[in-house]
Structure 1
Amino acid sequence: MNLPAELVRDYDHVSGPEIMDFPPAAADRMRDAGPAFWSTAHGGFWVVTRFEDARAAFQDPELFPQWGRGMPENPFSRTYIPLNLNPPEHHAYRKALVPLLSPRRVRALEEVVRETARRQLAKIGPKGECEFVEDFAMTLPAAMFCGLLGLPLDEFSVFADMAFDLIYAPAKVGREEGMEAAKAHRARANKKIEDFMRDLLARRKEEPGDDMISFLLGQQVHDRPLTDEEVFNISTLMFFAGTDSTGSAIAYSFAFLAQHPEHRQQLLDDPSIAPRAADELLRYHGFHHITRQVSRDTEFAGVPMRKGDVVLLPTGGANRDPEQFEDPNTVDFSRKASHHLTFGAGPHRCVGAPLATLELKVALEEVHKVITDYRIGDAGIEYVSGQSKTIPQRLPMVYTPVSSSVDAAR
């Protein structure tokens, strides 16, 4: 593509140095390139830098339909329902999912998450140190998923282990054994999750209950029941979408609080601000790079885009747009509801956004009842990248041990 030099940047949202420095702010540092620029990484793609343009792209699935292959391509990806579908087909499947988030179900799931947080704090509190991602952050969405599936809370570790094996372990294998070994490891982890979900689907068909799979087996789209393959597809997507992203949002938030004790003190002084704090921390730590594909030649964000071009919509950059947010690079727990783009916008806005926000709120409330003086350990934060996000892989935490497991569970 023949473009002016000022529109071309070497921006790698997967492994570039700006990403590995602090992922949520990486795209914000490219704002001087203008409303949009062309990246030469991974075959080339457009990057949109402004909030209004990103939101407009999210809200226009006709001009910017879903890009299901990922950037770079994932060899294990499939067309997930409803994530990779476009309107009007997308609407029918999304409508079938909405009742899963009824107030009654959300209240029940909150108790599952809160009890899990307390149990984990009872384990790690007396130790005075923990690996926060594995020992706490990832356990809450795993427990949430357990609740959705109607499985005993004691089984949440199964999902935590599978999520860790799929998302984090391949990076370690790649460093030690090479990329082919990492791909093989991810393929095995992917199959393990799919085998588990297919087995659970068969069990729920025989003995339905008050759970997500049983609910989906009773739903209809286009005046017909969902097929077994569609139920499997949706349930597996809920696992992939609802574990690592939410766990990472919790990890990012506590990493920030560990480095900014004045903000932590605000939560200690007034726990009622947890909902506002959760929303602001989610805005500040937007870490997704969402992809779309241009459906026809057009001019958008001041640049000429051609049919077939891939467009990257970094939520972190949009959430730090000074034209949308006053002093955007400052965390302000008194900020009014911001309508940030961490969960996207338009017809594909994350259906699980209320659950993810709830999990972060519970984490903020429960941790600060027990552990109040945590800091990041000497090893520091380690990030791992994928197609659409860069997330904390390791977050060592050090703190004053609580006197007993009883204190941690209070």
Structure 2
Amino acid sequence: MASHRVPEHVPPEMVKDFSLFTSPGMERTPNGDPHAAVACVHDGPPIFYSPCNTRDGRGTWVITRAEDQRRLLQDTETFSSHRSLFASALGENWPLIPLELDPPAHGAFRSLLNPLLSPKRVIELEPAIRDRAIALISKISASSTSCDVMKDFAFPFAVSIFLRLLGISDERLDTFVGWGKHLLHGDGVKRTAAARTILAFIDELAATRRIKPADDFMTFVVQANVDGRPLRDEEIRGMGVLLFVAGLDTVATAIGFDLAHLARNPKEQELLRSEPDRIVLAAEELLRAYSTVQMIRVATKDISFEGAPIRKGDYISCATMIANRDPAEFERPNTIDLARKDNRHTAFASGPHRCLGSHLARREIVIGLEEWLSRIPEFRIKEGTAPITFGGHVFGMENLILDWS
């Protein structure tokens, strides 16, 4: 452990050698279970300091209890969201909007965007989402008795829905997925190159939509007003990049973890297949058990939080995959119970920054599972193959080869 990374104000007894990037089970592992590996933090203190818990090697305080995470995420005055996570890869400083804005500015942009991803809007999108799932699965089942489910279904399905929202065709889908992988999981060089490419693409799309409007998100953004004025270029960029990046990874990864779980648990697979009405409830439990995102906040002032001497500028981690395995919050948290009720998981975070796209993500996951289970016979992980999992700012999975021969 690199002790020079520990600030002087952090008591040595509060330092724990843990990282969502490098701890056992977090690095690329065949047949890994990073969620179980993370759950072990609940055997220790409710808050501790990790000397290296961001992509760029910075230390963070780690909040382990779900109740404490919710309290912290509600307190936007003390714990700011502004980190310029994407812009920092370019050596710049501008926010993803509304994700990295604090109130009151956050509220104005959130209100602007809420109707685009509301439950009503998601109901309108549902036929197109289902058609996309059916088309992909039908193509798979007609040509083979096995597939790489991430490449052949999860990514093409989830990413194409977001591209449609942005007003982009599927022709370059593989290219966009590649950009996302480099941005979220690549090294520094790949991450910077991907950020530049995505930014240029969003700027170009915005310029096109100013001249040639269409019925899509980017047209809405370039024509929108907030606080009685048109959006600035930087604001359009911050909103466009956020939607693009948010659609590239998280829903596809959730579907991958869900199908891997069902492949390893044939009785649960058969139950959902024979009683599809259970899928909605099951999807919530799978979201809890296989949450994928770490939220980071920045302290705006010195504060003692649950006995931790947090200082202005300190980073604080609220990792969904930790909160959702909290034994104080969930009975038998490491048991995956597809009939679990009153499931207060925080897979989509909590507080004012609760995921704007949560309604859409939920429907995509449920529809993806419904159509897969109704069209693909009993499936398992193909003999001789092993899915690869990894931790990080966003957990991931690849090489999930399913077989139903």
Q: TM-score range by the shorter chain?
A: 0.7 to 0.9
Larger mean Cα displacement after TM superposition, 112-121 or 45-54: 112-121
The structural deviation recorded for 1:160 is 4.1
1:348-373 CA-partner distances (Å, limit 9, x unpaired): 11100111111100111000111132
Q: Hey, what does 1:156 align to over in structure 2?
A: 170
Is residue 118 of structure 2 the alignment partner of residue 111 of structure 1? no
Q: Hey, what does 2:319 align to over in structure 1?
A: 314
1:187-336 matches, within 5 Å, as 187-336=192-341
Q: Hey, what does 1:364 align to over in structure 2?
A: 369
In 1, Cα distance between equivalents of 2:165 and 2:17: 42
Q: Hey, what does 2:149 align to over in structure 1?
A: 132
In 2, Cα distance between equivalents of 1:307 and 1:194: 31
Percent identical: 35
The structural deviation recorded for 1:24 is 2.5
The structural deviation recorded for 1:157 is 4.6
Q: Hey, what does 1:13 align to over in structure 2?
A: 20
1:14–1:389 Cα contact (<8 Å) kept: no
1:63–1:295 Cα contact (<8 Å) kept: yes
Matching residue's letter, 1:129: S
The structural deviation recorded for 1:223 is 1.4
- The 1:241/1:297 distance shift into structure 2, 3 A limit, reads same
The structural deviation recorded for 1:143 is 1.7
Larger mean Cα displacement after TM superposition, 106-115 or 56-65: 106-115
- The 1:8/1:170 distance shift into structure 2, 3 A limit, reads closer
In 2, Cα distance between equivalents of 1:116 and 1:96: 28
The structural deviation recorded for 1:165 is 3.5
- The 1:117/1:44 distance shift into structure 2, 3 A limit, reads same
Corresponding residue pairs, total: 386
In 1, Cα distance between equivalents of 2:119 and 2:99: 23
Is residue 385 of structure 2 the alignment partner of residue 379 of structure 1? yes
Q: Hey, what does 2:5 align to over in structure 1?
A: none
Matching residue's letter, 2:60: F
Q: Hey, what does 2:50 align to over in structure 1?
A: 39
Aligned partner of residue 383 in structure 1, secondary structure: strand
Which structure has the highest helix share of the two? 1
The structural deviation recorded for 1:170 is 8.8
Is residue 41 of structure 2 the alignment partner of residue 30 of structure 1? yes
- The 1:375/1:165 distance shift into structure 2, 3 A limit, reads farther
What runs of 5+ residues in structure 1 fail to find an aligned partner? 175-181, 401-410
Q: Hey, what does 1:167 align to over in structure 2?
A: 181
1:382–1:392 Cα contact (<8 Å) kept: yes
The structural deviation recorded for 1:334 is 1.9
Aligned partner of residue 19 in structure 1, secondary structure: coil
Matching residue's letter, 2:18: Y
1:33-54 CA-partner distances (Å, limit 9, x unpaired): 2110111223422111101001
In 2, Cα distance between equivalents of 1:274 and 1:19: 29
2:158–2:248 Cα contact (<8 Å) kept: yes
1:343–1:353 Cα contact (<8 Å) kept: yes
The structural deviation recorded for 1:329 is 1.4
2:182–2:190 Cα contact (<8 Å) kept: no
- The 1:149/1:334 distance shift into structure 2, 3 A limit, reads same
Is residue 106 of structure 2 the alignment partner of residue 90 of structure 1? yes
The structural deviation recorded for 1:319 is 0.7
In 1, Cα distance between equivalents of 2:209 and 2:196: 20
- The 1:99/1:211 distance shift into structure 2, 3 A limit, reads same
In 2, Cα distance between equivalents of 1:170 and 1:239: 12
Q: Hey, what does 1:404 align to over in structure 2?
A: none
1:258–1:264 Cα contact (<8 Å) kept: yes
Aligned partner of residue 46 in structure 1, secondary structure: strand
